[in-house]
Amino acid sequence: MERLNQLKNHIVSPKAQVTTQKDDDVVIVAAYRTAIGKGFKGSFKDTQSDELLQKFLVQFFNKVNIDPSLIEDVACGNVLNIGAGATEHRAACLAAGIPDTAGFLAINRQCSSSLTAVNDIANKIKVGQIKVGLALGSESMSRNYGPKLLGTISKSILLNEEGKKCGIPMGITNENISSNFQITRETQDEFAANSYIKAEKASSSGLFQNEILPIEVEIKLPQSEEDEEDEKPPQTKKVTVSKDEGPRSGVTPQSLSKIKPAFKKNGTTHAGNASQVSDGAAGVLLMRRDVAKDLGLPILGKYINFKCVGVPPEIMGVGPAYAIPAVLSAAGLSVDDIDIFEINEAFAGQALYSIHKVGIDINKVNPRGGAIALGHPLATTGARQVATLFRELEKGQIGVTSMCIGTGMGAAAIFVKE
């Protein structure tokens, strides 16, 4: 019996294991973002993704006490630029002061791109390839959003029943979820209104100030028809952007109920209960714990694990419902062990399905609002969620970030606040 008690004392619970601190942990020492601009009409509408990224990085290094020459590799998520912005975003990093000795990787795993970038850097640190790395996301939907830039599927592939599913419009995939799993429009509108209420309250209370780095950009001013005909260059003005442009007050389920369905007659999905078209950039600086200690850098928390799983493309929004259990299982954790879930609100229907399928207390989900109210600059969302999550968690708490992914996937990651 004494021997059994000794063994029992040596057994560490999975939750205790993930919160235990070791020198070879992968830790986050900084996670910041720009404000999120409204697509096509917001403050970033005239700013290309590389310029947005460069301006963000300049402020990032002004904020974080680290020599950029210590960064050994950069992974940057982007969806809409040709080649995931490999050339222009590498150029932006160099222009911001990251030396050419650092590697650069452009990542496009659609809406999970910058979370995948976090995982890429974390894995390189885990296996000893690097000690310090930077995960980024930058997206200008204003400048690049459009069906042609998302790629076309060849006619021969479209003849295949499985292959052609990857071409289903995102809004229709949410309609499929809504009808297949009986998620009413009323329920979706209520969820969307709550997202606006939470985001507006957080924004007006200044809760996002610690994660947003203000940047200055130029906006083109409206032109007269005469000036446009004469092809005169538009006048510009400089503005400092420090506040999210998506949240607004007064949104209710009743006001949302008046909006027409966007994708099918009598559908449930519309502009008010889907994520906003947006622009923004974000970054997460990761390193080994012992390196952070040696540099005297404060530690926000540590990276635990990541999973990406596949789901049927025609209901791609269910991705979090399968990615979250997968990553929890890999870490030996349960849903109840998690204090906060940041789940991307691509659409209210898919978010609700995922929350209910996994059995998550909805009060733990997106306490400061989500993409319906804040906006969803595609590749930036994963890193943005990390920046937000670490401001929501208390010391010792565990958080999960997750999102669905176009063409049928879901991604999720676990972090611990310190």
User: Which sequence positions are flagged as catalytic?
Assistant: 111, 376, 404
Is 368:202 a contact under the CB 8 Å cutoff? yes
Is 312:407 a contact under the CB 8 Å cutoff? no
Is 401:364 a contact under the CB 8 Å cutoff? no
**Tokens 């050339």 label which residue?**
87
Q: Please state, in angstroms and rounded to a whole number, the distance separating the CA atoms of residues 200 and 194.
A: 10
β-bridge partners, 285? 30, 134
Is 217:387 a contact under the CB 8 Å cutoff? no
Residue closest to 114 by CA, chosen among 167, 144, 78, 150: 78
Is 382:403 a contact under the CB 8 Å cutoff? yes
Total count of residues recorded for the chain: 418
Q: What are phi and psi of 80, to 5 degrees?
A: -95, -20
What six digits make up the tokens of 332?
Answer: 């030996």
Q: Please state, in angstroms and rounded to a whole number, the distance separating the CA atoms of residues 407 and 164.
A: 10
Q: Please state, in angstroms and rounded to a whole number, the distance separating the CA atoms of residues 350 and 307.
A: 19
Q: How would you class 24 by CB atoms within 10 Å of its CB: exposed for 0-12, middle for 13-18, buried for 19 or more?
A: exposed
Q: Please state, in angstroms and rounded to a whole number, the distance separating the CA atoms of residues 60 and 281.
A: 11
Number of Cβ within a 10 Å radius of residue 107: 25
Is 379:81 a contact under the CB 8 Å cutoff? no
Is 395:12 a contact under the CB 8 Å cutoff? no
